[in-house]
Structure 1
Amino acid sequence: MAETDAAFAGALRNVVVRYPGRPPLGPLDLAVAPGEILALVGASGAGKSTILRLLAGLESPSEGAVAGGAGRGRTGFVFQSATLMPWADIQANVALPLDLAGVPREEARRQAAAQLAAVGLGDRLTARPRQLSGGMAMRASLARAMVTEPDLLLLDEPFAALDSITRRRLIEDLHRLWTGRSPRPAMVFVTHDIEEAVYLAHRAVVLDSGTGRVAASLSLPGPLPRPDNWRGNEAYRSTVERLAAELARSMTASAGSNA
C-alpha cells in the first residue's frame, strides 16, 4: 500500500471485484481526500454501490487493496432506504451506533437527541418510524450516520425515492451538517441525477458501465455550500451538460465494446 494513501479518507488501489456469471469490475483506482464531497455517477451495474461497500469494509476486493475508510477512523453509511428499526423510537434508532460502540446509554441518548435536533427532528424523539414521512425517515437515517462524527460518510442514493423539493432541502441540510463539522468529513454520494451530482459535490466521477473503471473525473465549479440561486448559474448549467455528455459517452463506449 502506498504511503501517500494515509493522506486520503478512503482509497481503492488497482481494485478488481469478481462476481459469478458477469464480467469483473475494475481494475479501479479512486481516492477521496479528507473533507472532499465526491459524487459517483454511472449506469446501473457500473459498480457505484460496490465502491461504497468496499470503502465501508462491507465487501473485500478480489484483487487490489482498500485504504482509509473502514481501515482508519470512523465511517458512516446512509442506504437507499432509511433502514430504521420499526419497534424502536427515533432517538433509540439514532443512538444505535453509539450503543454498539459501548457508549453509556444516557450519553448515547444525549448525543442522539443533539444530532436529531441538527437535522430538524428534535421534537420527534419518541416517534416510531411509521409515524415519519419519507423525508423525515431519511433525516433520521442521516442523523444516525452522523452521530459517530465520521471521517467518511457514504451515501447510496439516499434521496432517490423522495420528491424533488424534499431532495433539495435534504441536500441543503447535508451541506449544512458538513460545514458545521470540524474537521469536515469526506463524503461519497452515489446518484443517478446529474444535476444533483453537480450541485452537491466538489468532484464527480463517471464510471464506465461495462467495466466499472473511472471513465471521467470532473472538478465541479463554485463554493460549497452553494450560494442562493446557484442552479441558475451559467457555470452550473454548463457543467451539468458536460457531465451528462461524459456519462452518455461512457455508456455508448461500453455498448460498442459489447456489440
Structure 2
Amino acid sequence: MADAGPAFAAALRDVVVRYPGRAPLGPVDLGVAPGEIVAVVGASGAGKSTLLRLLAGLEVPSRGAVIRGAGGGRTGFVFQAATLMPWVDVRANVALPLELAGVPRAEALQRASAGLAAVGLGDRLSARPRQLSGGMAMRASLARALVTEPDLLLLDEPFAALDSVTRRRLIEDLHHLWSGRAPRPAVVFVTHDVEEAVYLAQRVVVLDAATGRVAVELPSPGSLPRPAGWRTDLGYRAAVEELADQLARSMTPPPFPAAEEEVS
C-alpha cells in the first residue's frame, strides 16, 4: 500500500479488480478523509465488499493503487457476522487483536473490559458468544474492532440480520463511539439500506451495478451525531429519496443499441 499523506485516511486510485468469468470491477477512485464517515451502497455484485477488502489490504487490485494515510494506520473490520470465537468468553474475544499485536495479556484484558463497557456489555465479560443475542454479539464485534483504536474502521453490513429497533440503537451507539474518540476514526460502512446510509454517514457513495465504478456521491444533510427525531426531518427524507432514485439508476442496464437496418 502506498502512503497518501495527511489528506486521506485511505484511498483507491484507478483500481481495477479482475475475476475469472465476469467483467472486471472498476476502475474505482475513492478517497476517505480522516474522521469522515462514508456509506457505500449498490446492487449485489457491484463490488461493495470487494472495496472494503481492498481498503483493508485483504485483497490486491489487478491494477491501480490502494493508498493509506501517513504511517499506514491501524484498521478495524466488522463483518456481516460477529465472527466471535465460541470457545472463549467475550472479553477474551475482544482482547485477541491486542494480544496478537504484542500487548501483555493483563493489559489487553483490561482494555477489552473498557471496550465492552463502552458498548454496553460491561456486565457480560465472562459470557460465551452463544449466550449473547444477535445485537449483543455485534456490539462485542464492534468493541473488538475499536479496541485497537483504529484510524480506519470498515463495516460490511454489520446490522443487516438484526431487527430494526436494534439496528437503530447500534447506529446511535456507533455515532457516539465515533464522536467520543480523539482523533476520530475514518469509517466506511457498506449497507443495502438507503435510510441507514443517509442517517449514518456524512457522504454516500453509489456503485454502478454493471461496472463497480462510483456512479455518484451524495452528501448527507446535517451534522453527526443526529439529534433526536431527525428521521422525520424534511432534509433527511429528501436525501433518502434522492439516494433511492440514484441507486435505482445505478441498477438499470443501459439500453441495447438500435439494430442497424439491413442494406439490400
Matching residue of 1:182? 182
Alpha-carbon distance between aligned partners in 2 of 1:4 and 1:142, rounded to the nearest angstrom: 26
Alpha-carbon distance between aligned partners in 2 of 1:70 and 1:90, rounded to the nearest angstrom: 33
Matching residue of 2:109? 109
1:87/1:128 contact within 8 Å kept: yes
1:72-221 correspondence to structure 2 within 5 Å = 72-221=72-221
Alpha-carbon distance between aligned partners in 2 of 1:37 and 1:50, rounded to the nearest angstrom: 18
Greater mean alpha carbon deviation, residues 2-11 or residues 135-144: 2-11
Deviations 1:8-42 (A, max 9, x none): 01100000000000000000100000000000000
Shift of 1:100: 0.3
Aligned residues: 258
Partner secondary structure for residue 251 of structure 2: helix
Deviations 1:143-186 (A, max 9, x none): 00000000000000000000000000000000010011001000
Alpha-carbon distance between aligned partners in 2 of 1:157 and 1:29, rounded to the nearest angstrom: 21
Shift of 1:256: 3.6
1:56/1:69 contact within 8 Å kept: no
Matching residue of 2:262? none
Partner secondary structure for residue 176 of structure 2: helix
TM-score (norm 2): 0.94
Partner secondary structure for residue 40 of structure 2: strand
- TM superposition outliers: structure 1 runs of 4+ over 2 Å: 1-6, 254-259
Instruction: Give, as a single letter, the amino acid of the residue that structure 1 aligns with 2:142.
Output: L
2:75/2:154 contact within 8 Å kept: yes
Taking a change above 3 Å as real, the CA distance of residues 3 and 14 of structure 1, as seen in their structure-2 partners, is same
Partner secondary structure for residue 91 of structure 1: helix
Alpha-carbon distance between aligned partners in 2 of 1:22 and 1:5, rounded to the nearest angstrom: 35
Matched, 1:247 2:255: no
Partner secondary structure for residue 143 of structure 1: helix
- Higher percent of residues as helix: 1
Deviations 1:41-93 (A, max 9, x none): 00000000000000000000000000017971100000000000000100000
TM-score (norm 1): 0.96
Taking a change above 3 Å as real, the CA distance of residues 3 and 58 of structure 1, as seen in their structure-2 partners, is closer
Deviations 1:180-232 (A, max 9, x none): 10010000000000000000000000000000000000011001000010000
1:75/1:151 contact within 8 Å kept: yes
Partner secondary structure for residue 238 of structure 1: helix
Matching residue of 2:225? 225
Partner secondary structure for residue 7 of structure 1: coil
Alpha-carbon distance between aligned partners in 2 of 1:54 and 1:119, rounded to the nearest angstrom: 28
Larger Rg: 2
Matching residue of 2:61? 61
Taking a change above 3 Å as real, the CA distance of residues 161 and 256 of structure 1, as seen in their structure-2 partners, is farther
For structure 2, the residue ranges without an aligned partner over 5 or more in a row are 259-264
RMSD: 1.8
Taking a change above 3 Å as real, the CA distance of residues 257 and 192 of structure 1, as seen in their structure-2 partners, is farther
Instruction: Give, as a single letter, the amino acid of the residue that structure 1 aligns with 2:125.
Output: L
2:231/2:237 contact within 8 Å kept: yes
Instruction: Give, as a single letter, the amino acid of the residue that structure 1 aligns with 2:41.
Output: V
2:4/2:68 contact within 8 Å kept: no
1:45-56 correspondence to structure 2 within 5 Å = 45-56=45-56
Shift of 1:7: 1.6
